[in-house]
Structure 1
């Protein structure tokens, strides 16, 4: 595949990721977050397994990394559960910008804390001005998106739950980073399997099976979330990292906050406020300086 075609696919993948926010919000209107979480993980696992079988990607993973995969699977399940709860209390587009912004911010804070605690002077010296600038811009975008007008808004369900989503996902990256020695899609398969088993208790209720008789709208949105966004979008991203390298592939992640707003506008008629748009722009620059510019420089 020529690089220019891969660039087009990456742009499509980022919009597929952005579309998962409004479509997931629609899914929350049908049943409880726990039930939606279970079916999402089960369908993703089955779809991912079929894809790995078709591509003939090995299913074996080293035993020594299973503990990291297990921890990532538990956190992945918790993230998705909180994610579906959060979508009931806030706008999908605004939440998509907030979470995709704060994940690299929290990840970078974890990185900074780790090198300070280890007193690693070499790593401290590698921290550049671009990362610090990105961190400042990211925090500024967070203030815009949190809509900090009063104490009620600061500690509102929307802010607390979406910030918790970002914090959990940033924690997941710590464990997936350690889970090396197998194909990324294989590791992702087992993470989703663990998350599925984590919520399998809902099968003992009557509610989960009722949702399977839902209308076409439910299944269209489930298809977007599971197949288009999670399976296809993530596979394109992993393939792009393999072909283009992490710096070029991650630069396309800058599209995700904007795509979440655009998709939410067209699907849910959510009109972003001026503060949300400013926060989105600051978020794009923050991700660029933390994840892209610093790596290009090094």
Structure 2
């Protein structure tokens, strides 16, 4: 049941961002998104009595993750503003496992086997078919 509501929330985020992008800028949306996240997570951390202390190595990793998340969120808002919410959801759903696999290969030395490569290729081909990239010109894809 929790997964059902999580998926409803994830799916509705695309539509709400599409509507909100007409009224406020991407940076304001990013700020509000992470402010709401902080406000909702701080009481949970306090209730669970988790420490807010962080060592320097973890701080460096957290800063890199924060930069990546801010870039992702910015392009999420930008893409939804200029494209459709449904196609954006399909595109991101495909890119997350592909990017995760690329990170595993580049930073953690994971070997690329035929099964993984075929699965990623098959998923990417399926979403490109849904997006209809075969009917788009180069200029439409790379605005």
Q: What TM-score do you get using the length of structure 2 for normalisation?
A: 0.83
Structure 1 residue 95, shift from structure 2 partner? 0.3
- Output the CA distance in 2 between the equivalents of 1:9 and 1:56: 24
| Cα distance change on mapping 1:141 and 1:15 into 2, 3 Å | same
**Which residue in the other structure is 2:129 paired with?**
144
**Which residue in the other structure is 1:183 paired with?**
none
Superposed CA RMSD? 2.2
**Which residue in the other structure is 2:57 paired with?**
64
| Cα distance change on mapping 1:152 and 1:145 into 2, 3 Å | farther
Aligned counterparts, 1:205-244, within 5 A: none
Asked if 1:131 is matched to 2:124, the reply is no
- Output the CA distance in 2 between the equivalents of 1:61 and 1:83: 29
Deviations 1:120-175 (A, max 9, x none): xxx53xx554322311212202421442222233224xxxxxxxxxxxxxxxxxxx
Select the structure with the greater relative contact order (CA < 8 A; seq sep ≥ 6).
1
Deviations 1:14-65 (A, max 9, x none): 2222221111212212211111211222222122112211233332233321
Structure 1 residue 89, shift from structure 2 partner? 0.8
- Output the CA distance in 2 between the equivalents of 1:95 and 1:17: 12
Aligned counterparts, 1:1-298, within 5 A: 8-114=1-107, 123-124=110-111, 127-148=112-133, 149=135, 150-156=137-143
Please tell me whether the aligned partners of residues 102 and 142 of structure 1 are also in contact (alpha carbons under 8 angstroms). Answer: no
Gaps of 5+ in 1: 1-7, 157-298
Question: Across the two proteins, how many residue pairs are aligned to each other?
Answer: 141
Q: What TM-score do you get using the length of structure 1 for normalisation?
A: 0.43
Please tell me whether the aligned partners of residues 21 and 77 of structure 2 are also in contact (alpha carbons under 8 angstroms). Answer: yes
